[in-house]
Amino acid sequence: MPALARSRFVGKRLRLAIVGLLPVLAALVPLTVQAPAHAVAPSYVALGDSYASGVGTRTYTSESGSCQRSTYAYPYLVAQQKGYTLTFKACSGATTSTVTSSQLSAVVSTTKYVTISVGGNDAGFSDVITECAQPGWMSDCNGAIDGAQSFINNTLPTRLNTLYASIKSRAPSAVVVVTGYPRLFMGEDCNAATWFSPAEETRLNQTADLLNAKLSAAASAKGFKFANPTSKFIGHAVCDSTEWLNGLSNPISESYHPNKLGHSSGYTPLVSPLLVGAA
């Protein structure tokens, strides 16, 4: 074959090869351009008191000290389940005031999810339980309950509204879930060192219901979600066959708080479905 013809022939084959490769190259380019960047886990801040920190589970992280935060508490379990990045600020003994002063700074504009459990300590519920646990002849259980209910009705709503407004202001786009408190009793007292009468247990449960009603109303006013544990804990109260709530315990600080099952089977499946939908 003459050199000129051979050159034309080779050139033609090269052009055909390039044309044949174009569709392959075109298919590959979008794969490179559209490859997603590594997603950042949504941020989740857990605020509140001992019912959120995990008191009652008997296992606490060393860094949390007297706050008694537990890896068995529902904020930790929900964060693990959802793949959220948890900032765990809940602390035993917290009130609306201490949440504001020592926990709220963790909520920032980029926070996607918040849970908050607070109000029981404001109402002095621990002191009420302590009073009512004594024999009737040496206690004023009804007086203690009356005082707590008066506080819940007349003072607590303003405190909740102020705190919830601060959360809303700091993270206006966050999904916020307010968690309530379960009824502790189901009509019996099996602890030898306590003397709760059935009537007292009924009034204590009614006080928990009243507290939940105020929490729910304050949450709704700010567009927050409310996780009500009342029905979830039925059949799992103090002295039930499978307790999700501790009765009188040693140390005493573990008493009348959700145990590990209370967090894993009670609060976690209640809170988890609500802690979704952040932009």
In sequence order, what DSSP letters do the residues of the chain get, joined into one string? Answer: --HHHHHHHHHHHHHHHHHHHHHHHHHHHHHHHTPPPPPPPPEEEEEESHHHHTTTSS---GGGGGG---TTSHHHHHHHHHT-EEEE---TT--HHHHHHHTGGG--TT--EEEEE-STTTTTHHHHHHHHTS-GGG--HHHHHHHHHHHHHHTHHHHHHHHHHHHHHH-TT-EEEEE------SS----TT----HHHHHHHHHHHHHHHHHHHHHHHHTT-EEE--TTTTTT-STTSSS-SB--S-SSGGGTTSB-HHIIIIIIHHHHGGGS----
245 in Cβ contact with 257 (< 8 Å): yes
d(CA 92, CA 106): 17
Known catalytic residue: 50?
Answer: yes
Q: 50, 70, 117, 255: which one is catalytic? A: 50
Report the b/e string of 234-273 with b at 16+ CB within 10 A.
eebbbbbeebbbbbbeeeebbbbbbbbebbbbbbbebbbe
Q: 53, 236, 257, 263: which one is catalytic? A: 257
Which residue, chain included where needed, has tokens 């009348």? 256
* Residues noted as catalytic: 50, 257
